[in-house]
Copies of this chain bind each other. A is one copy, B any other.
Amino acid sequence: MPEKKVGRPRGFDREQALNAAVTVFWEKGYDGTSMRDLTDAMGINSPSLYSVFGDKQQLFMAAIDHYSQNFGKSPISAFNDETDIKKAIIAFLETGITEDDSTPEHPKGCFISSCVPTSAGHVEGATEKLQHIIKGADSLFAARFEEEKSRGSLPADFPSEERARLMFDLRQGHVLRARADLPSARIEADLESRANMILSY
- Contact surface of A with B, Cβ cutoff 8 Å: 27-32, 107-109, 113-115, 117-123, 127, 130-131, 134-135, 159, 161-162, 165-166, 168-177, 179-182, 186-187, 189-190, 193-194, 197, 200
Q: Is the CB of A29 within 8 A of B118?
A: yes
Q: How far is the CA of A74 from the CA of B27 in the complex (A)?
A: 31
Residues of B within 8 Å of A115, CB to CB, are 117-118
Taking the nearest CB of chain B, how far is it from the CB of A159, in angstroms? 7
Interface of A, helix, strand, loop or mixed by DSSP: helix
Q: Which of B32, B182, B194 contacts A134 (CB 8 A)?
A: B182
| Known pairs A186-B165, A194-B166, A197-B197; A176 contacts B28 (CB<8 A) | no
A-B contact pairs, 13 of them (CB 8 A): A29-B118, A109-B117, A113-B176, A114-B118, A115-B118, A127-B180, A130-B179, A131-B182, A169-B169, A169-B174, A169-B176, A172-B173, A172-B175
Q: Is the CB of B181 within 8 A of A131?
A: yes
Taking the nearest CB of chain B, how far is it from the CB of A163, in angstroms? 9
Taking the nearest CB of chain B, how far is it from the CB of A140, in angstroms? 15
Residues of B within 8 Å of A166, CB to CB, are 170, 173, 190, 194, 197
Q: How far is the CA of A165 from the CA of B108 in the complex (A)?
A: 19
Residues of B within 8 Å of A197, CB to CB, are 166, 197, 200
Q: How far is the CA of A131 from the CA of B168 in the complex (A)?
A: 22
Q: Which of B30, B161, B176, B181 contacts A172 (CB 8 A)?
A: B176
Q: Is the CB of B171 within 8 A of A173?
A: yes
Residue of B nearest to A127 (CB): B181
Taking the nearest CB of chain B, how far is it from the CB of A72, in angstroms? 14
